[in-house]
Structure 1
Amino acid sequence: MNIVFQKKYQGSSLACASVLALGLVSMSGSALAQQAPESVSANDFIQLFAKLGGEHAGMRKAHARGVCAVGSFAPASDAAQYSSSALFTLDEVPAQIRFSLGGPNPVADEREPGTRGVGIQLSLPDGGKYHITGNNTPVFTGKDPETFFGFLETLLPDENGKPNPAKTGAYIAANPSVMPALAYARSNPAPASFSRSDYFGIHTFFFENAQGEQTKFRWHLVPDAGPLGLTAQESASMPSEFLEQRLKDEIADGSVSFTLMAAIGNETDSVIDPSQQWPAERPSIAMGKLTVTEAGGQACNPTNFDPNIVPSGIKTSDDPVLKMRSPAYGISFGKRLSNQ
C-alpha cells in the first residue's frame, strides 16, 4: 500500500513534494490543516491510487515496477524455541521472490530515491505458504489506514493542476504519525541494488509454540553484502532502468543473500501501530537465510504477496493496516488478472 515515494507526477516526484512538505509542518494552525477521514475501504485505496498514478491495465496497483526472482530459504533453528511451525525444522524450502519499486508507475525511474519493496513466498512441503512482504522503510506512513489515506489525498492536484505542498505540510502537522516514515525516506538514498537494501515487515506478528504461548516479533531482512546507497552523482550516471540487470549480474557472481531477523518485542511495544518503530535494543534472533539464485521472467506475476498468509506457528496481529492489506491486495489482484 505504500506508494508515496516513487511516482513521477506532473513533472515532480511525490518524494520531492513530501520532502518540501516536511518544511511546512509549522502550518498546523492554518486553514489548510485537516483530519484523516473517519473510515476508508480497500476499494477507496485502489481508486485513489488510480487518481495519483493513472490507470495501468493488467498491472499491480502499487509496486507496479518490479522483477521476479527465485531462490531458497534455509530456516534457522533459533526460532523453534518460540514457534511450533514446521518451517523451522526444515533444511531448506523454495522461495519465489519479487523485488519492486513503490508506486503505480510500471516505468518508474529506478534512479529516484523512494520505496523499494520485496515479496517472498515460501512453500512448505505440506502445501502451506508463508508470505513475507515489506519495504525499505522501517515504519508506515501513518498509524492506521485512515491517516495514510488522508495523507495521500493531499498529494492530489488542486485547482491549479498541481499538488499543494503547504496542504500536505499542514496535514502532517495535524497527523504527526505520518512524519517518521517521511523523515526516513528523506534521508534514505536510492539503493545501489535490490540486493543492497534492508527490508522491514513494519507489522507485528506472533510466534506461537505448541502450548499456545505467543511471542510478538517484527521481521527485518538484512542484506548479507550490507546496505549500499547511490550518491546523487552515481544516480545521475545510471540509466533509468538498471536494477534487474544489476541483480542478474550479482547472481552470476554468486553474491545475493539476506538474513531474515526477528526482533522480539516486550509488553510496551506497539502491536497495532506500524508508524511506531520498536527500540533498537530489542533482542533479535535469526529466522533463516534467503539466497537468490535466478532473476527475470514472469513466474511471480500470478502471485499475490499478501502478508496475512502465514503458516501454522505464526499468527497475524490486529494491526489495522495489516488487516487492510488483504482486501486491497485482493482487489488489485483481481483487476490485474482481468487486465483492468
Structure 2
Amino acid sequence: MRNTKVVIFTLLFSLHYALWAQSKTDSENIAELFYTLNGDAKDPHKKINHTKGFCATGEFVPVKNITNTYNIPLLRESTIPTQVRFSLGGGNPKASDSTKGRGLALKIEGKSDSWEIVVLNTEINFAKNLEEFVKFFEIRIPKNGKVDSQNLTKVTKETPSFANYEKYLSTIPLTPSVANTTYYSVHTFYFEDTKGRSIPARFAFVPVAGEKGLTPDEAKKLGDDFLLKDFKTKVASKPIEYKMMLILANPKDKTDDTTALWSGKHKEVQIATLKVEKYAGEGCNRDVFMPAVLPKGVGAPKDPLFETRNEVYSITFGKRQ
C-alpha cells in the first residue's frame, strides 16, 4: 500500500511540475536560459547579457524639417538629451574588447515624448523565431563543465539561420573604436509619414568618422580594454557623432524575419545625428533600455522575437534589483 502511495505521489508531482513548466511563458524560459549560461550564484543581481559596458551622455539632434516628411512629433525638438550605453555581447564582465559582438543603447528623453533604442553591430540576428532562439543558446550550455563543440558545429551547420549568421559574422570588421562602429536596428520598424502611410524601415547609426577594421595582430597589441580608453581620449577633444539613417524596405524585402539580409539598393534617409559627448561612469550598467518604448509615429516590429525580447529585458531587470 505504501509503495502504491509513493507511486501516486510521484505521478502527481510529475504532472504538477509538467503543468507548472508549461505555464511558464517563453520569456521566462529564455530568461532562465540566460541565467543558466551567464548567471553567477555569488552575484544573483548580475546583468546576464551585454554585461561589460560603460555609460555616456550626449544629444540627439533631429534633421531640420524632417517632420515635413515623417509625422514623428519628437523630431520637432531641436536638441534632445540622451543617455548612452556602449557594451559587448555576452555575460563576461571582463570580456576582451576584441569580441566582435557589440551593442549601443539609448534613452532619448524629449520634452513630451521619449524613445529607447537598442542596436547591435550586426545587420541580422541568429534566429528567426523563438524555437531557434532557444536552440542557439541550449547548444552552448556546458555539460560536465564543457560545451559539446561537435554538437554545436553539427547543429549550426544543420540550421540555416545559425549557419547564415556565422558566415555573416566572418565578414564584419573588428573595429578599434566605438567611433568607427556602425550599429543596426536588426528589426524592421514602421515610420508614419505626413500622408499617414506606415513606412517599413530598418535603421542604422553610421559613424561620421567612418568604419575601420583591425587585424587580429593589431587587436592583440591593444589589449582587452581598449574601447573605453579610446572613447575617453576621443570625447576629450570632440563629440563622437553618428548619422541615424532609415533604410527603407523594398517591396520584396522580408520585414518579419530578423535573419534576412536585405540585398540591392535601398533608399536611405537621415533623420537625426547622435552626438556622444561625455563619459558617465558605469552606473547605467544595471539599468534597462526597452526597445518597446517608442515615440508617437514609430510603430513596433512585427517579427516573432521583438515582443519576447522586451519581456525578457523586463524579467532580467527585475532580477537585478
1:125-167 Cα deviation digits (max 9, x unpaired) = 11x21012111111000111220210211112245x3222321
Contact 1:200 1:219 in 2 (8 A): yes
| Structure-to-structure mapping, 1:18-97, within 5 angstroms | 41-55=26-40, 56-77=43-64, 79-97=66-84
**What secondary structure sits across from 1:320 in the alignment?**
coil
1:114 equivalent among 100, 110, 113: 100
Tell me, yes or no, if structure 1 residue 102 matches structure 2 residue 89: yes
Q: Which runs of no fewer than 5 residues in structure 1 stay unpaired?
A: 1-38
**What secondary structure sits across from 2:305 in the alignment?**
helix
Contact 1:129 1:309 in 2 (8 A): yes
Q: CA shift at 1:246, angstroms?
A: 1.2
Tell me, yes or no, if structure 1 residue 150 matches structure 2 residue 135: yes
Comparing 234-243 and 218-227, the one that deviates more: 234-243
Count matched residues.
296
> Higher Cα Rg: structure 1 or 2?
2
Contact 1:145 1:320 in 2 (8 A): yes
Q: CA RMSD in A?
A: 2.0
Contact 1:78 1:285 in 2 (8 A): no
2:5 aligns to what?
A: none
1:11 aligns to what?
A: none
Alpha-carbon distance change, 195 to 64 in structure 1, aligned in 2, over 3 angstroms: same
**What secondary structure sits across from 1:225 in the alignment?**
coil
**What secondary structure sits across from 2:83 in the alignment?**
strand
Contact 2:191 2:297 in 1 (8 A): yes
Contact 1:198 1:221 in 2 (8 A): yes
Please, what TM-score do these two structures have when normalized by structure 2?
Answer: 0.86
1:188-243 Cα deviation digits (max 9, x unpaired) = 34320122111010101001135542000100110111112222112211232221
Percent identity for Structure 1 against Structure 2: 28
Contact 1:102 1:115 in 2 (8 A): yes
**What secondary structure sits across from 2:128 in the alignment?**
coil
Determine the C-alpha separation between the residues in 1 that align with 2:103 and 2:134.
20
**What secondary structure sits across from 1:291 in the alignment?**
strand
1:232 aligns to what?
A: 216
Q: CA shift at 1:187, angstroms?
A: 3.1
Tell me, yes or no, if structure 1 residue 336 matches structure 2 residue 320: yes
2:188 aligns to what?
A: 204
Determine the C-alpha separation between the residues in 2 that align with 1:233 and 1:213.
50
- The letter of the residue matching 1:266 is N
Please, what TM-score do these two structures have when normalized by structure 1?
Answer: 0.82
Tell me which stretches of 4 or more aligned residues in structure 1 moved more than 3 Å. Answer: 209-212
Q: CA shift at 1:299, angstroms?
A: 4.8
Determine the C-alpha separation between the residues in 2 that align with 1:187 and 1:211.
39
Tell me, yes or no, if structure 1 residue 172 matches structure 2 residue 156: yes
**What secondary structure sits across from 2:170 in the alignment?**
helix
Q: CA shift at 1:82, angstroms?
A: 4.5
1:305 equivalent among 289, 311, 317: 289
1:125 aligns to what?
A: 111
